[in-house]
Chains A and B, each alone.
Chain A
Amino acid sequence: MQTDYDIIVIGAGVAGCCVARELARWDASIVVLEAGNDICSGATRANSGIIHAGFDPKPGSAKARYNKRGSELYPQWSNELGFPIINNGSLVVAYSEEELATVRDLVARGHENGIEGVRELSRDELFELEPNVSHEALGALLAPTGGICDPYHVALRAGENAAQNGVTFEFNARVASVEKEGDAFRVVLEQGSVLHARAIVNAAGVYADEINNMVSKRKLEITARRGDYCLLDTDYGPLFTHTMFQAPTANGKGVLVSPTIHGNLLIGPNAHAQDSKSSLATERSGLEEILEAAKKTWPDCSMRGVITNFAGLRATGNTGDFEIGEPDDAPGFFNIACFESPGLTSAPAVAEDLGVQIAAFLGAQPRADFNPHNKPKMLFAMMDDEAREAAIAANPAEGHLVCRCCTVSEADIVDVLHGPLPCLSLDALKWRCGAMMGRCHGGFCSPELMKIFVRETGLEPTQVDRRGANSPLVVEARSDYIDYVAAKKAEAPEGLAQSEIAGQNAIYDAVVVGGGAAGIAAANAAAQAGAKRVLLIDREAQLGGILKQCVHSGFGLHRFAEELTGPEYAARELGSLNDAVELLLNTSVLRIDAAAEAGGAHTVVASNKEGLREIAAKAVVLSTGSRERGSGSINIAGTRPAGVFSAGSAQNFMNLQGCLPGRRIVIQGTGDVGLIMARRLTLQGAEVLCVLGTSPWPAGLRRNIVQCLDDYDIPLLLSKTVVRLEGEKRLEAVWIADAELGTRAPIPGTEERIECDTLLLSIGLLPENEVAKTAGVEVSSATGGAIVDDTLATNVPGIFACGNALHVHDVVDFASAEGDRAGLAAAAYALGKGGTRAASSDIAVEAGNGVSYVVPQRILRASIEAGGEVTLFFRVRKPLEKPSFEIQGITAAGDTLELKRKKARIAVPAEMEQMTIKLDDLATIERISVHAEGVQSNG
Chain B
Amino acid sequence: MAEVKYFTCVSCPMGCMLEVRLNAAGEVEDVSGHTCNRGIEYAKQEAVNPERNISAVVWVEGVLEPLSVKTARPIPKAKIFDVMEEIRDLSLKAPIQAGQTLIENAANTGVAIVATKTLG
Please indicate the chain A residues that have their CB under 8 angstroms from the CB of B7 in the complex: 706
CA distance A451 to B64 in the complex (A): 10
Within 8 A of B (CB), among A685-719: 685, 701-703, 705-707, 711
Q: Which residues of B contact A707 (CB under 8 A)?
A: 10, 52
Chain B residues, Cβ within 8 Å of A470: none
Distance of B33 from chain A, by nearest CB (Å): 8
Q: Which residues of chain B have C-beta atoms less than 8 A from A702's C-beta?
A: 8, 15
Give A684 to B15 CA distance when docked, in angstroms: 26
Interchain CB contact under 8 A, A683 and B84: yes
Q: Which of B7-59 contact A (CB under 8 A)?
A: 7-13, 15-17, 52-57, 59
Select one of B53, B63, B117 contacting A563, CB under 8 A.
B53
Report chain A residues within 8 Å CB of B13: 554, 557, 701, 703, 810-811, 911
A-B contacts, 9 listed (Cβ < 8 Å) = A568-B117, A683-B84, A701-B13, A701-B15, A703-B9, A706-B7, A706-B10, A711-B52, A911-B15
- Tell whether B101 is near chain A: CB-to-CB under 8 Å: no
A655 within 8 A of B: yes
Task: Assess whether B59 is in contact with A658, with CB atoms less than 8 Å apart.
Answer: yes
Contact of A551 among B52, B55, B88 (CB under 8 A): B55
Which residues does chain A contribute within 8 Å of B10, judged by CB atoms?
A: 703, 706-707
Not counting A484-B64, A553-B55, a sample of 17 additional A-B residue pairs whose C-beta atoms are within 8 angstroms of each other reads: A557-B12, A565-B55, A565-B116, A568-B116, A656-B65, A657-B64, A658-B57, A680-B56, A683-B84, A684-B56, A701-B13, A703-B15, A706-B7, A711-B52, A810-B13, A811-B13, A906-B17
Cβ of A485 under 8 Å from chain B: yes
Q: Which 7 pairs, one residue from A and one from B, show the smallest C-beta to C-beta distance?
A: A702-B15, A484-B64, A551-B68, A703-B10, A567-B117, A658-B66, A565-B116
Evaluate contact between A706 and B59: CB separation under 8 angstroms. no
Given A706-B10, A905-B17, the answer on whether A551 and B65 have CB atoms closer than 8 Å is no
Contact of B66 among A655, A685, A711 (CB under 8 A): A655
A168 CA to B92 CA in the complex, in Å? 48
A907 to chain B, nearest CB (A): 11
The answer to whether A478 and B84 have CB atoms under 8 Å apart is no
Q: Does A552 contact B (CB under 8 A)?
A: yes
Q: Name A551's closest neighbour in chain B (CB-CB).
A: B68
Complex interface: chain B residues within 8 A of A905 (CB): 16-17
Name A655's closest neighbour in chain B (CB-CB): B57
Give the residues in chain B near A675, CB-CB below 8 Å.
none
Number of A-B residue pairs having CB atoms within 8 Å of each other in the complex:
86
Contact B8 A703 (CB under 8 A): yes
Residues of A contacting B8 with CB < 8 Å? 702-703, 705-706
Complex interface: chain A residues within 8 A of B118 (CB) = 571
Interface centre among B12, B17, B63, B118 (most CB of A within 10 A): B12
- A481 is an interface residue with CB less than 8 A from chain B: yes
Q: How far is the CB of A655 from chain B (nearest CB, A)?
A: 5
Q: Is B4's CB within 8 Å of the partner chain A?
A: no
Interface string of B104-120 (1 = CB under 8 A from A): 00000000000011100
Q: What is the interface size of chain B, counting residues whose CB is below 8 A from a CB of the partner?
A: 31
Interface size on A, residues (CB 8 A): 37
**Shortest beta-carbon distance, B80 to chain A, in Å?**
8
> In the complex, A711→B53 CA distance in Å?
12
- Minimum distance in angstroms from B6 CB to a CB of chain A: 11
The reply to whether A655 and B68 contact each other, CB–CB distance below 8 Å, is: yes
Q: Which of B17, B57, B64, B80 contacts A654 (CB 8 A)?
A: B57
Tell me the complex Cα distance, A711–B81, Å: 12
Q: Which residues of chain A are within 8 angstroms of B98 by Cβ–Cβ distance?
A: 567-568, 571
Q: Which residue of A lies closest to B16 (CB)?
A: A905
Q: Which residues of A contact B116 (CB under 8 A)?
A: 551, 565, 567-568
Q: Enumerate chain B residues within 8 angstroms of A658, measured Cβ to Cβ.
A: 57, 59, 64-66
CB contacts (< 8 Å) of B66 on chain A: these are: 655-658
Shortest beta-carbon distance, A882 to chain B, in Å? 12
Flag whether B77 is at the interface (Cβ < 8 A): yes
- What are the residues of chain A within 8 A of B64 when measuring CB–CB? 451, 478, 481, 484-485, 488, 657-658
Contacts of A484 in B (CB 8 A): 63-64
Output the least CB separation between A38 and chain B (Å).
28
Q: Considering the complex, which residues of chain A in the window 383-406 have a beta carbon less than 8 Å from any beta carbon of chain B?
A: none
Residues of B near A911 (CB, < 8 A) are 13, 15
Min distance, Cβ A554 to any Cβ of chain B, angstroms: 8
| Nearest CB on A from B54, distance (A) | 7
- Residues from chain A with a CB closer than 8 A to the CB of B55 are 551-553, 565
Closest A-chain residue to B12, C-beta based?
A557
- The residues of B that contact A571 with a CB separation of less than 8 Å are 98, 117-118
Chain A nearest CB: distance from B16 CB in Å? 8
Q: In whole angstroms, how far apart are the Cα atoms of A258 and B72 in the complex?
A: 58
CB of B57 within 8 A of CB of A551, answer yes
CA distance A841 to B84 in the complex (A): 60
B57 A565 Cβ-Cβ under 8 A:
no
Closest to A810 in B: B13
A680 CA / B16 CA spacing, docked (Å): 24
CB distance from B68 to the nearest CB of A (A): 4
Instruction: Give Cα distance in the complex from A683 to B58, angstroms.
Output: 12
Residues of B close to A680: CB separation below 8 A? 56
Chain A positions 857-877 with a Cβ under 8 Å from a chain B Cβ: none
Q: How far is the CB of B41 from chain A (nearest CB, A)?
A: 13
A707 vs B11: C-alpha distance when bound (angstroms): 11
In whole angstroms, what is the CA distance A703 to B57 when docked? 22
Within A452-511, the residues touching B (CB, 8 Å) are: 478, 481, 484-485, 488
> Which residues of chain A are near B52, meaning CB under 8 Å?
707, 711
CB neighbors of B among A552-572 (8 A): 552-554, 557, 563, 565, 567-568, 571
What is the minimal beta-carbon distance from B20 to any residue of chain A, in angstroms? 15
A478–B59 touching, CB < 8 Å: yes
What's the nearest-Cβ distance from chain B to residue A355, in Å?
49
Q: Which residue of A lies closest to B84 (CB)?
A: A683
State how many angstroms separate the Cβ of B106 from the closest Cβ of chain A: 13
- Bitwise, A665-687 to B at CB < 8 A (1) or not (0) is 00000000000000010011100
User: In the bound complex, how far is the Cα of B55 from the Cα of A262, in angstroms?
Assistant: 43
For B15, B53, B64, B118, the residue with the greatest tally of chain A CB atoms inside 10 Å of its CB is: B64
Residues A565 and B70 in contact, CB atoms below 8 Å apart:
yes
Is the beta-carbon distance between A683 and B15 smaller than 8 angstroms? Answer: no
B13, B54, B56: residue with the most chain A Cβ atoms closer than 10 Å: B13
Q: Nearest-CB distance from A490 to chain B (Å)?
A: 16
Which of chain B's residues have a CB closer than 8 A to the CB of A485? 64
Contacts of A703 in B (CB 8 A): 8-13, 15
CB-CB under 8 A from A706, the residues of chain B are: 7-8, 10
Q: How far is the CA of A567 from the CA of B56 in the complex (A)?
A: 12
Q: Could you say which residues of chain A place their CB within 8 Å of the CB of B11?
A: 557, 703
| Bound-complex Cα distance A656 to B67 (A) | 8
Give the residues in chain A near B17, CB-CB below 8 Å.
Answer: 905-906
Q: Are A551 and B12 in contact (CB under 8 A)?
A: no
Contact B56 A683 (CB under 8 A): yes
Interface residue ranges of A646-660 to B (CB < 8 Å): 654-658
For B117, what are the chain A residues with a Cβ–Cβ distance below 8 Å? 567-568, 571
In the assembly, what is the distance between CA of A707 and CA of B15, in Å?
11
